[in-house]
Structure 1
């Protein structure tokens, strides 16, 4: 099993500080080494997030498929200007650790370097976050003001071209949202911004399905393919037609009542009874409320057939 060495932590971190202001990048790497000397294993997981990346994340769940992952547009995050970074704690075997008091201990170390720690914020505590804005406000940054010597480390990258187990933050939320929209299981915690074992598994399954190198790392090839498949979802015409499910017949009112009870318990759907005739003892069918889009209705019908063994028809409403 791979061990967490200073070399491993610094190599991970050096990839993430590309594009940061040189003072911030230097403080970030210094923090990694300070923490290691105290027995805390950390790596930088997020640095610069470009305006187009931020706008693409903002579009998810709004003008693009998936769930909302951020409320910030391009230019509304300190990350967009190269003055902020996030970190994660690791155990001795290179596994990320998302909780625990180590985040507070690292927060104290970062403040020794003059960094502002998100764990001190009152309205929204962001334990893995540090920033250093040279006393400039977000409004001043948006207006174009910059501190002296605003050179960045390396060439400003598309920071989406490298995400790995242990990363966290809004870019990971964006990745998880796209994988979920593409119907890959990202785990019970859903879009949480933590690239853990479940997200790694989803990435590997995506890579295997599309003939990519299966390593669980979202490099340039994997990210490009995810983006391409996600774009196809956006381009699909949306079916706004209303559909209902109609079951086969139930022989008496007792069977019908039991079936409706199961449906409401398991799915919470709106249902109606439909008598097949005006006879004193008619057979019955169950008819559901509306589903928007035939694909959605067909998927629901398949669930009922699988779970209950019923005959189920999909009918346009």
Structure 2
């Protein structure tokens, strides 16, 4: 008999979809209707609930901590993606310009096995899984997302970093035909490419994740298709989207928001309710779809898994 030990961060299978839809499906099966209706009827049920048709094969997250997921509609309709626009609700209407076919990812720097590889071939190297994570934006809103993808550590082990590799640097695609804001040049919202970074021990932590899907379907373009980083104990801007390059470095990379406003956005960007943003408090957050705010958790609720990474550090200075 195989005994599967659940990890402390894992979130119950019946909550992998919103509770209301789960109950509808359960009743649907109890009535025996699933054996009688056409595939078209099942598809209509999914469409009415605004859920994608699942196409990815992955190991399910059992949702040990019983987190309540945000709906697919909420997750895909409220997005920060400045390459398109600074208007969060408008991103999904503009994201069709992003071309994701034949996407390639380059991995270089201080590694034994550098590569430039088609994303489909890269994905085939790993067992896909689901990770249900809290997601907290530095702006004070949050959600719970069922990502699909593979651990960043599994990729790191493939390329075999050299002993002097201390950091990872990630870069987003630069393509003015895909991203309207990149056409603006000197009037653009940010300097491009968008850059993010992690210490290598952070990247090797089991929580660090490369997402290629959401709710069992390929990532929507507005959510960072076709591949993005997810580091759930950090503010959302660290989870860089539409990755085309990962470099292994000896020195700390300068991240985009750190470059834009170093007094407001540090390299680490760990969720910390005890350190306010210079212009607003970080003690509370509003979950998308909720009216009332809730308390923000240290490291976004993943303190047991990541606090040891920062032992001895002054988290007010190293923010």
Structure ranking higher on relative contact order (CA contacts 8 Å, 6+ apart): 2
TM-score (norm 2): 0.22
Larger Rg: 1
Q: Please state which structure has a larger fraction of its residues in helix.
A: 1
Q: Please state which structure has a larger fraction of its residues in strand.
A: 2
TM-score (norm 1): 0.22
